Chain A
């Protein structure tokens, strides 16, 4: 039978949105700061990947409400995102370009 899947838990209010935005701004600040710290240059790539993944997820989960919405939306989006990510990684290896993400790994 039809499953009424959209529970529509109440969307977060403006207060929570602003809180999220402040965190996003701080992470961006940290990202740029990390870029300029010479002693971190070895670990730059992993640090930046983690930070941008957090930013990405926060926008998707809160601003795009995926955390509160039907799981079907998540399937649709993560399906495309997952294939795109796999394609990117596979192509980097096939072109011997994986070192462009991890400098020095060539």
Chain B
């Protein structure tokens, strides 16, 4: 029994559960990351109706632009499709197809990040910064953390493309694509939650506002 190949991962049947070490680690990490976003979302939900002064999420002084955010939510959702298509291509040994889908996924992620940048700029122009009120404080922190996760995901995807161009991602290594995909989909489902809780369900207005 040799398991001296941490990077090249031993064949799956050598582990007790039959599951790959790295994939097990990724799922444990995602379970853990749920708590990170759990704490951030909790903070936002507690604070969003407690601002002493505007701007507020919605209402007469509201800053949310639902049509715009819906489009970026849709973009991120579709990046999950391109991600699984990359995995399917990898598993079938269509290396070029895999690269195309990986690049498409990274591109959609970048479009989403661009949208977030635009949204942040617009909010600041309307007078909402992290320092303005507790809505701004908790909103920018929550969506900022999500954006950081997306950014890391884009870097991972592009790294995979580079590795593949050097011949490092053959069909046999499709598990690497699968594990990167798990992370990417997680970032997507977090946004599904944020889109509903933060954007679509209207925040109560503070009693003294508007």
Q: Which residues of A contact B (CB under 8 A)?
A: 2-6, 11, 13-14, 17-18, 20-21, 24-25, 28, 31-32, 35, 44-45, 48-49, 51-52, 55-56, 59-60, 62-65, 70, 72-73, 76-81, 83-85, 87-88, 91-92, 95, 97, 99-101, 103, 106
Contact = CB atoms under 8 A, between A and B. Distances in A.
A21 B201 contact: no
Contacts of B33: 80
A14 B204 contact: no
A83 to B, nearest CB: 6
A103 B204 contact: yes
Interface in B23-48: 23-24, 27-28, 30-35, 37-39, 41-42, 45-46, 48
22 contacts: A2-B17, A5-B18, A17-B85, A24-B80, A28-B74, A35-B200, A59-B185, A59-B189, A63-B80, A64-B186, A73-B19, A76-B24, A76-B31, A77-B34, A80-B32, A80-B35, A83-B34, A83-B38, A91-B42, A100-B45, A101-B197, A103-B204
Nearest to A84: B38
Q: Which 6 A-B pairs have CB atoms at the shortest separation, nearest pair first?
A: A84-B38, A80-B31, A80-B34, A21-B81, A4-B18, A52-B196
Nearest to A104: B204
A18 B200 CA distance: 26
A97 to B, nearest CB: 5
A64 B26 CA distance: 12
Interface residues of B, number: 57
Interface string B45-69: 1101100000000000000001100
A31 B46 contact: no
B158 interface: no
A6 B19 contact: yes
Interface in B196-210: 196-197, 200-204
A10 B13 CA distance: 17
Contacts of A79: 31
A88 to B, nearest CB: 5
B84 A95 contact: no
B151 interface: no
Interface of B: 12-13, 16-19, 23-24, 27-28, 30-35, 37-39, 41-42, 45-46, 48-49, 66-67, 70, 73-74, 77-78, 80-81, 83-85, 87-88, 91, 178, 181-182, 185-186, 188-189, 192-193, 195-197, 200-204
A87 B186 CA distance: 19
A33 B151 CA distance: 30
